[in-house]
Each structure stands twice: as C-alpha cells, then as structure tokens.
Amino acid sequence: MEGLYKQGNGVTPRIFFDPESSTLSIKGNSISVDAHHFFADAIHWLERYADQPNDHTKLEIDLKYWNARSIQNIMSMLNQMKKIDQSGKEVRVVWCVPEEAEDLRELTEDILNKLSIPHLILSN
C-alpha cells in the first residue's frame, strides 16, 4: 500500500501516513471551513489500511488549533483506529495538546476515553 502525504498550510495540517513504519501523523492547524474535502483522502486511505493493517499502528495527532469540522473528520479516523484495535492488532493514539489549552485536553480525553482505544495525551 502506498503512503499518503498532504502538505499543510496555515489552516490545514500536514498529513503523513507511512504504512512501512506503521506511523500515521497529523500535525499543524486544522481550521479549514472545508475540512471534509481536505480530510477525504486521509479517511479513505485509513479505511483501506484498516482492512489489512500492520501488526502495530500509531496515530500521532499534534494540532495547535482545530475546529468542529475538523474534529468530525478526525473522529472518522479514530473510528478506523478502533476497528483496527478490535481486529486484534495493536494500536496507539498519541495526541499532543498545547500546554495552556486545558479545555482541548479535556475534550481530547473525553473523545479517546469514549472510544476505549489505547492512547497517550501529551502537553507541548
């Protein structure tokens, strides 16, 4: 399976999904009003990957700013990670939250705890 790379800018994150290293990375800002269009390729890629995942998969999320449209798409990706976890493969979500953003940290904890997938929340 080919990897996926999307260059970010001030309103969209950089996406780098590397099946060889089993590392999926989303970094930057995600405040686009057309987040669904931006994330469509990444969601589709992860759906295909989830059908035949590697033994270990790590999703790294490091977003400084994000909006409701973005989180809907990230939830779609997290649901695919849950699917991989339920298939018996090892998954881990590492989500970095800005240190001063306590509200984002609480929201992130709520999301990941409800999904019941292995995760680590870091401050940066």
pLDDT (0 to 100) of residue 124: 85
Q: How is residue 103 written in tokens?
A: 């509200």
pLDDT (0 to 100) of residue 101: 87
Q: What is the mean pLDDT of each run of 10 residues along the chain (124 residues)?
A: 95 97 97 94 97 97 92 96 97 94 90 94 92
Domain spanning 4-123: CATH 3.30.750? yes
Q: How is the chain split into domains, by residue range? A: 4-123
Strand order in the sheet with 4-6: 4-6, 14-18, 23-30, 56-66, 90-97, 119-123
pTM of the full structure: 0.94
Q: Please, what's the b/e burial string for 14-42 (b: 16 or more CB within 10 A of its CB; e: otherwise)?
A: ebbbebeebbbbbbbbbbbeebeebbeeb
Q: Which residues contact 3 (CB under 8 A, 6 or more apart)?
A: 16, 17, 18, 19, 20
Helices and strands counted in the chain (H then E):
3, 6
pLDDT (0 to 100) of residue 2: 96
